[in-house]
């Protein structure tokens, strides 16, 4: 971290957070029983992340991460209900 501008640290952590969320979403999508639904959700997730990859506004990014986490929880809840 020496010699690096301090502004890079939060960006790096944020990037890690976003990638982690993306992986969790893709992992959850793998649990979806129907192939067609899986494909649709995978494309949707990919598009959402791609569309927002150049976002730099800190509040907007935080909001998108929160939204993504809520959608992930919703998907996990739905999958759990489907299995029970």
pLDDT at 32 over 60: yes
Q: How far apart are CA 28 and CA 71, in angstroms?
A: 11
Instruction: Return the SS3 of 34.
Output: coil
pLDDT at 4 over 60: no
Mean pLDDT of 69-84: 93
Which residues are CB-contacts of 29 (< 8 A; sequence separation ≥ 6)? Answer: 38, 41, 42, 45, 75
Confidence of residue 83 (pLDDT cuts 50, 70, 90): confident
Mean pLDDT of 24-47: 96
E-assigned strand segments in the chain = none
**Rounded to two decimals, what is the model's pTM?**
0.83
Q: Which one-letter DSSP state was computed for residue 76?
A: H
Angle at 62 (CA atoms; ends 37, 44), nearest 5 degrees: 15
pLDDT at 2 over 60: no
């Amino acid at each position: 971290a020496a010699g690096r501008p301090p502004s890079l640290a939060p960006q790096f952590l944020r990037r890690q957070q976003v990638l982690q969320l993306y992986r969790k979403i893709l992992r959850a999508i793998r649990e979806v029983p129907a192939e067609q639904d899986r494909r649709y959700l995978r494309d949707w997730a990919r598009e959402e992340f791609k569309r927002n990859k150049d976002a730099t506004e800190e509040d907007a990014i935080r909001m998108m991460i929160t939204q993504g986490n809520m959608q992930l929880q919703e998907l996990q809840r739905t999958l759990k209900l489907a299995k029970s």
